[in-house]
Amino acid sequence: MTVTSAARESAPGRTGEADVIVVGAGPGGSAAAYHLASAGLDVLLLEKTEFPREKVCGDGLTPRAVKQLVKMGVDTSEGSGWLRNKGLRVIGGGSRIQLDWPDLAEYPNYGLTRTRLDFDQTLAEAAVKAGARMQTLTNVTGATQDAAGRITGVTAVIGKEKAPATYTAPLVIAADGVSGRLALSVGIAKRDDRPMGVAVRRYYTSPRHDDDYLESWLELWDNTRAEPHLLPGYGWIFGLGDGRSNVGLGILNTSKAFQHVDYRKMLTDWLGGLPEEWGYTEENATGPIRGAALPMGFNRKPHYTRGLMLVGDTGGMVNPFNGEGIAYAMESGEIAAEIAAQALARPAGLSRERALHGYPQVLADTYGGYYRLGGMFVKIIGRPEVMRLATRHGLPRPVLMKLVLKLLANLTDPRGGDAMDRVINALTKLAPAV
């Protein structure tokens, strides 16, 4: 299988035709391209970098993400470079509890870890194998529009020479990440009334590299002021199975201290309090501390307009409860592809537009109530006294924590399930969509 390179196959001013252009070969873009190509559509997948390439992420995948990998035919065996995990270990308030992933009909009962360095490449290769045409070193700079304002394609610069190019298609999918450059170019700005997070992470060589549980630390303290403050967020330690751990932390913007926290210093301060034999020390670091924003709760809308669909981080689809983005990027990519395939089977005009305008409603039906609950959750835990009570009095209660795990990871069987599933599903249906 060959992944095509824009530097080799495109020339200045060349126009590329396709049924759908997908901008960005991250999890959302590659999932969309895979499902579109599997439906028989001609897909042009444009990626600004070359693979392998690094991304800031915890590198941990919940069963939601694993389900999407299985749908794409990705081999998730340990022999193929994946490390399986059984669940989540939560530490805080003087307590420690180990929770297995729930055994559900809808999702597998295991998670995975793998670095984004080759995770994204694996998904992009699956899309190419399904029939998508991928061009790397193609930096999309904006959208082209017709006289009525409908998006007809994209402009780009290709290769190290930054040669200009234009690509046209009746439909464009923006999967270019948190920056949302393509969406911004047509006037779709992010919303400031939705939660936002910041995450920082670093890799360390560690004897804990093969831990079969993801580990979450719920007490993060801001020690930069006279009186330390407990912050809304968590630290993580995820073994990668290759001799390294991914260690990081994520903080929500619902705390008053959000704008003033030195996240890199907070990470090193937290690690300084962990057992030295774990190896999370400066001499064992294998790279710098890197950070990224986490756009949550549909913070960019509309998700469809005038021939442009938004998926994943571009549409602000990170889970407000736990900061997970990969699963929702891949799921939204699949949803967008299914709707796009049905729409493009219709002639251009009102009927096709009617189908495409169903995309935002499907997203709202799927995630809207859950994200509304998540928005309420992040506001509540933004109060230090609430966060303190939650860690000290919630963690010692295993039954309660099983419910919390299902809620935070969004892991329930949608039809039937146990009593916990029914409670969570009822709450998400009662909550108004964001």
For 145-166, write each residue's pLDDT tens digit.
Answer: 999 999 999 999 999 899 999 9
| Amino acid found at 179 | S
pLDDT at residue 258 tops 70: no
**Residue 135: pLDDT band with limits 50, 70, 90:** very high
Residue-level pLDDT at 193 = 84
* Span 19-72, pLDDT tens digits: 999 999 999 999 999 999 999 999 999 999 999 999 999 999 999 999 999 999
Compute the 3-state secondary structure of the chain and give helix, strand, coil in percent, each to the nearest 5: 35, 25, 40
Q: 296 and 225 in contact (C-beta within 8 Å)?
A: no
What is the average pLDDT across 114-133?
Answer: 96
pLDDT at residue 401 tops 90: no
DSSP label at residue 12: T
Residue-level pLDDT at 10 = 37
**Residue 393: pLDDT band with limits 50, 70, 90:** low
Q: Which domains does the chain have, with CATH numbers?
A: 6-84+113-191+297-370 (3.50.50.60)
Residue-level pLDDT at 226 = 65
Residue-level pLDDT at 252 = 85
The sheet that has 60-61: what strands, in order across it? 60-61, 111-113, 83-85
pLDDT at residue 2 tops 60: no
Distance in angstroms (rounded) separating the CA atoms of residues 3 and 111: 28
What is the average pLDDT across 272-286?
Answer: 95
Residue-level pLDDT at 11 = 39
Residue-level pLDDT at 7 = 37
Residue-level pLDDT at 225 = 65
CA 170 to chain CA centroid, nearest Å = 26
Degrees (nearest 5) of the Cα angle 355, 181, 200? 110
**Residue 6: pLDDT band with limits 50, 70, 90:** very low
Q: 244 and 203 in contact (C-beta within 8 Å)?
A: yes
Are β-strands 87-92 and 233-239 bridged in parallel, bridged antiparallel, or unpaired? Answer: unpaired
pLDDT at residue 12 tops 50: no
Q: 178 and 196 in contact (C-beta within 8 Å)?
A: no
Nearest alpha carbon to residue 340 among 3, 29, 16: 29
What percentage of the chain has pLDDT greater than the value 70?
Answer: 91
* Span 349-364, pLDDT tens digits: 999 999 999 999 999 9
* Three-state helix/strand/coil letters over 189-244: CECCCCCEEEEEEEEEECCCCCCCCEEEECCEEECCCCCCEEECEEEEEEECCCCE
What percentage of the chain has pLDDT greater than the value 90?
Answer: 70
Residue-level pLDDT at 280 = 97
pLDDT at residue 313 tops 80: yes
Lowest mean pLDDT among 109-118, 285-294, 301-310, 395-404: 395-404
Residue-level pLDDT at 13 = 46
Residue 136: enclosing H or E segment and its boundaries?
Answer: none
Lowest mean pLDDT among 106-110, 173-177, 189-193: 189-193
What is the average pLDDT across 124-149?
Answer: 96
What average pLDDT is seen over the chain?
90
What is the average pLDDT across 76-89?
Answer: 94
Residue-level pLDDT at 15 = 52
Phi/psi at 358 (nearest 5 deg)?
-75, -15
pLDDT at residue 9 tops 70: no
Q: Considering only residues 254 and 122, tell me which one the structure prediction assigns the higher pLDDT.
A: 122
Q: The whole model's pTM is what? A: 0.93
